[in-house]
Structure 1
Amino acid sequence: MNIQLTIDGHRVDATLNDSAAARDFAALLPLTRDLEDFHQTERIAYLPRELDTSGAPDAVEPKAGDLAYYAPWGNLALFYRDGDSPSASLVILGRVDGGGTDRLATADRITIEAAS
């Protein structure tokens, strides 16, 4: 599924994968959230409810541009740098297309919606 992110007023394209968690996340759209930095690697925002993580792998190593869900905290994670190790309970939802990853490093607010 193609989605659009509006990061501090700038539109960026992204694509969700075909996982149960990504489909469940898509059902929440449109969604606007304030972002905060986490470990100078990702911007995070809390979702209004938990996502379905059935069938998710045990651990993944996130890369810059990944959109992910961290199940224990119920938050969306938008990676602007590569993670340094595999993370249990992190579910990749999709990826930012093109050069939008750079905007994430300083983003304070994001709106996510289905692409028209």
Structure 2
Amino acid sequence: MKRLLCLTPILVMSFVLAACSSNDNKLPETDRGHSASNNSNRAKEEPTEDSISDIRIKLTFNDEEVFVRMYDNPTSRDFLARLPLTVTFEDYVGKEKISILQKRLSADNVQSGNQPKRGDFAYYSPWGNLAIFYKDFEDATNDLIILGKIESGKDNFENIHGDFTVTIEKVD
């Protein structure tokens, strides 16, 4: 009987602590907030050297070529499976060029939340668009999935005004 009396407070305290603890990872994204400051405690998955693949793509437009080294993630693989592709890009907020895809890419099991940097080739899952960042974008949303990094030709995007058509294909 004494053992039961000693264990009862421990069991009650364990139950109370478990019930009162917070686990934000189980909350939907909409309940956690969307601003970068609200997600400062959430670990962000920055692309690492290990996640860079050997696959490169070439973007051709206005007699220019831009080469992108792709990251190895499910969204990048889904995008690569659709190539070759011809899309039209337009400027967005003076920092990126965007193109809405006809069919959304798979964003399942991919950690988003990266802040884009100049030269990032990304996918914005809520709108279903590709994004090419020609300037850093510190206040960007947390819904970006970085697909790759421009290796050459970053400067080619900054001086384009108006819509332009791009052919995207894999490079051997």
**TM-score with structure 1 setting the length:** 0.92
- Count residues with an aligned counterpart: 115
Greater percentage in helix = 2
1:1-116 → structure 2 map (5 Å cutoff): 1-98=55-152, 100-105=153-158, 106=160, 108-116=164-172
Provide the secondary structure at the position in 2 that maps to 1:56: coil
Percent identical across equivalent pairs? Answer: 38
Q: Assess, with a 3 A threshold, how the Cα gap between structure 1 residues 86 and 37 changes in structure 2: closer, same or farther.
A: closer
> By how many angstroms is 1:86 displaced?
4.7
- Assess if the C-alpha contact under 8 Å between 1:59 and 1:86 holds in 2: no
Task: Give the root-mean-square deviation of aligned CA atoms.
Answer: 1.4
Q: Which has the higher contact order (CA 8 A, sep 6+)?
A: 1
What whole-Å deviation, never above 9, does each CA across 1:44-69 have from its counterpart, x for those lacking one? 01112111112222411000110000
CA distance in 1 between partners of 2:112 and 2:97 (Å):
22
Greater CA drift, 67-76 or 86-95: 86-95
- Assess if the C-alpha contact under 8 Å between 1:7 and 1:104 holds in 2: no
Greater percentage in strand = 1
Unaligned runs of 5+ in 1: none
What whole-Å deviation, never above 9, does each CA across 1:62-90 have from its counterpart, x for those lacking one? 00110000011100000000112252211
Report the residue type matching 2:84 in the other structure: P
**TM-score with structure 2 setting the length:** 0.63
CA distance in 1 between partners of 2:171 and 2:59 (Å):
9
CA distance in 2 between partners of 1:47 and 1:11 (Å):
21
What whole-Å deviation, never above 9, does each CA across 1:10-40 have from its counterpart, x for those lacking one? 1121111100000000011111111110000
Moved over 3 A (4+): none
Report the residue type matching 2:169 in the other structure: E
CA distance in 2 between partners of 1:112 and 1:85 (Å):
28
